Amino acid sequence: MTIDFDGGLTCALGVTNLDRAIAWYQEVLGFRLLYRRPDIAWCELATPVQRVNLGFGQVEAAPGKGGATLTFGVKDIHAAKAALDKAEVRQDGAVREIEAMVRLLTFYDPDGNALMFYQDLQGDSAAARP
| 89 located within any domain | yes
Backbone angles phi, psi at 15, to 5 degrees: -130, 155
pTM of the complete model beyond 0.75:
no
> Nearest CA to 89 among 111, 120, 66, 59?
111
Least confident of 1-5, 15-19, 34-38: 1-5
| Residue 111: count of CB within 10 angstroms of its CB | 20
CATH number for the domain harbouring residue 33 = 3.10.180.10
| 2 located within any domain | no
Task: Report the greatest alpha carbon distance in the chain.
Answer: 49
> Nearest CA to 21 among 53, 57, 66?
57
Give how many domains the chain has, as a whole number. 1
Fill in the DSSP letter of residue 84. H
Per residue in 59-114, pLDDT tens? 887 666 656 788 899 999 999 999 999 999 999 999 999 888 899 999 999 999 88
Q: Domain range holding 19? A: 9-128
| 72 located within any domain | yes
